[in-house]
Amino acid sequence: MGPSQETKGDVEDGAGGPPDGVLARRVQEGDREAFELLARRYLRPVHAVAASFLRERADVEDAAQETFLRALESIRTFDARRPFAPWLYQIARNVARNRLKWQSRHRAASVTAVEESVADQGSSPASGVERAELRRLLAVAIDDLPEQRRTAFRLADVEGYTPTEVARLMGLTAGAVRAHLYHARRRLRARLAPLLTENDEEDPRKTR
């Protein structure tokens, strides 16, 4: 499942390997090769899901690793007639969310605190905020999105997956993913609007 591939249903990778359900059934019997194929297929998407909750690469890697090992532990509870990707996504989401809860006590400033610090500088936000600060503020604003919306936004707009790919991974319809993207983009623009100059917004990417 690459960022540029369009995939449908319970499918195979770009090279056209066996469907997920077939591989999952083989993994249930302890087939190492089947597990490796599934892991290769979903390694980056699982990292991307973890990255929608966690910021540090080491945390993302640990969460992704734990996700696959937990999936392997409970693979016999998986009904191979159902789509594999959303099942794996739920495990990744739970693992990452638990890690985030553990880290939440040490979390950095909230959006409000950042905005207050900008106001304290005595200049208009538009002129006072450096690009790095803008990006930091946007990262915090993204974190404040509702979970499913944030995940859809990060997978599509940060990680580069198509809405169809995001839908397949999250077990949603493509329309639902587009709705999440619609609201996320609008909300983030609204949050950042007071901090932007006309020159800040340039070269927007094409809508997918």
Which residues contact another protein (rule: CB under 8 A)?
Answer: 2-3, 27-32, 35-36, 39-40, 43-44, 47-48, 51, 54-57, 60-61, 64-65, 68-69, 72-73, 75-77, 131, 134-136, 138-139, 142, 154, 157-159, 175, 178-179, 181-182, 185-186, 188-189, 192, 200-208
**What's the 3-state SS for the chain?**
CCCCCCCCCCCCCCCCCCCHHHHHHHHHCCCHHHHHHHHHHHHHHHHHHHHCCCCCHHHHHHHHHHHHHHHHHCHHHCCCCCCHHHHHHHHHHHHHHHHHHHHHHHCCCCHHHHHHHHHCCCCCHHHHCCHHHHHHHHHHHHHCCCHHHHHHHHHHHHCCCCHHHHHHHHCCCHHHHHHHHHHHHHHHHHHHHHHCCCCCCCCCCCCC
Minimum CB–partner distance for residue 37 and another protein (Å): 11
Give whichever of 122 and 154 is closer to another protein, judged by the CB atom.
154
Minimum CB–partner distance for residue 175 and another protein (Å): 8
Give whichever of 72 and 86 is closer to another protein, judged by the CB atom.
72
Give whichever of 28 and 122 is closer to another protein, judged by the CB atom.
28
Minimum CB–partner distance for residue 171 and another protein (Å): 19
Give whichever of 122 and 141 is closer to another protein, judged by the CB atom.
141
Minimum CB–partner distance for residue 162 and another protein (Å): 12
